[in-house]
Amino acid sequence: MGQKFVELLANHPWFEVEALAASDRSVGKSYIETTGSKASTLPESLQKLTVVEAKPGAIDDPDIVFSALPTEVAGPIEEDFAKSGLPVFSNASSHRMDQHVPLLNPEVNAEHVALVEEQKKRTRLDGFIVANPNCTTAILTLSLKPLYDAFGLETVVVSSMQAISGAGYPGVASLDILENVIPFIRSEEEKVERETNKILGSISQPAGVTVSASCNRVPTINGHIEAVFAKTKSRATPEDVVKAMSGFVSVPQKLKLPTAPAHPIVVRKEEDRPQTRLDVDEGHGMTVSVGRVRKDAGLGGVKYIVLGHNLVRGGAGCSILNAELMLAQKYIQ
Ligand SMILES: NC(=O)c1ccc[n+]([C@@H]2O[C@H](COP(=O)([O-])OP(=O)(O)OC[C@H]3O[C@@H](n4cnc5c(N)ncnc54)[C@H](OP(=O)(O)O)[C@@H]3O)[C@@H](O)[C@H]2O)c1
């Protein structure tokens, strides 16, 4: 995820990477030394940046912090940066469910940014933390938002097929995942179930949707595919669902934010799409691709497949879009 941040920020029109921080393993080395040839297409100034410790004093006067730290260490480090007066955009789960931390997927719940005012009042700090959702949840909630708004949602059942990069680097051992499917990702199902309700809900109340998730690791590199069943409150045919999703745009598109895709959701008409290899980079990884929208006659609802890039829409891209939104709305200077 850290490498994806650097790649997306390398030519960003508003933000410039001034410092990179990581673990003791990397501190003191240049970025290219820590990543090897993977960073060789980046500008030389980035390749040569020396990795520093992840603490406020180690970084010279930053304006914004993007965090892609493991959950086991992220909590206190992110708090230290917020205490030093900085806005922190986190990918870790440590603070996602904190009452006054916005769990932000900008096309879905841009209005939740207002929570930072309450957060700052309570902590009496100028800095604050904004989290983005777990990757599977980011992709799922973006596809659900038009349905939630147009028809209401009663129940969502989702089965995910999640790429290897979702487990970080080096992640799952190749001998465990090649030619294999692993039907368990620790804590993932619980995250999808509770985060979906926080994101779709109002600023003060979870949405109250019954969400049931089954999460699986599959041998693809990037891109999570999810098979979704949704029971809406008011009647919605597959045609209604396709129409609601296809026309969906939201605050980031209206504000023309640099990382906002023109179409947050693309609905494929082919019977065998979306496919990971063909569709994962749609909208530079910020668009989710939906397909196979159909009626579930037995259970009385609709079913569809959604695919999204876990490191972009489900991670670094979403975090950068959060920062763009808050800058555009003057929550940060
Ligand atoms: N991968 C995804 O698709 C995805 C999606 C959404 C959210 N997330 C979340 O994003 C975070 C990062 O995930 P990842 O997949 O990028 O994990 P990762 O590949 O394991 O990378 C973790 C990074 O954190 C650094 N680090 C570890 N311990 C540290 C410490 N004590 N102090 C400072 N830096 C430390 C590591 O430094 P070194 O480089 O020195 O080892 C590495 O750069 C996690 O919280 C994860 O749950 C991941």
pLDDT tens digit string along 86-111? 999 999 999 999 999 999 999 999 99
Q: What is the mean pLDDT of the chain?
A: 97
Strand 65-67, strand 87-90: pairing: parallel
Strand 224-232, strand 153-162: pairing: antiparallel
Ligand 1 pocket residues where CB is under 6 Å: 1-2, 22-23, 25-26, 34, 54, 68-71, 73-74, 91-92, 134-135, 165-166, 168-169, 310-311, 314-315
Q: Whose CA is nearest to atom 41 of ligand 1?
A: 23
- Tokens 């049931």 map to which residue? 212
Cα–Cα distance measured from residue 32 to residue 96, given in angstroms and rounded to the nearest whole number? 31
**Residues 14, 324: contact at Cβ < 8 Å?**
yes
Q: Whose CA is nearest to atom 8 of ligand 1?
A: 91
Q: Please enumerate in sequence order all residues whose Cβ is within 8 A of that of 306, keeping only pairs 6 or more positions apart, or say none.
A: 139, 140, 143, 225, 226, 228, 274, 288, 289, 290
Per-residue pLDDT, 278: 98
pLDDT, tens only, 110-126: 999 999 999 999 999 99
Cα–Cα distance measured from residue 327 to residue 333, given in angstroms and rounded to the nearest whole number? 6
- Measured from the Cα of 4, ligand 1's closest atom is 16
Phi, psi of 18, rounded to the nearest 5 degrees: -105, -25
Tokens of 105: 């997927």
Longest Cα–Cα distance of the chain, Å, equals 60
Q: Shortest CA distance to 23 belongs to which of 59, 70, 62?
A: 70
- Answer whether residue 333 shows pLDDT above 90: no
Cα–Cα distance measured from residue 330 to residue 313, given in angstroms and rounded to the nearest whole number? 23
Q: Could you tell me which residues are beta bridge partners of residue 157?
A: 212, 229
Helix axes 188-200, 135-151, angle to 10 degrees: 40
pLDDT, tens only, 155-188: 999 999 999 999 999 999 999 999 999 999 999 9
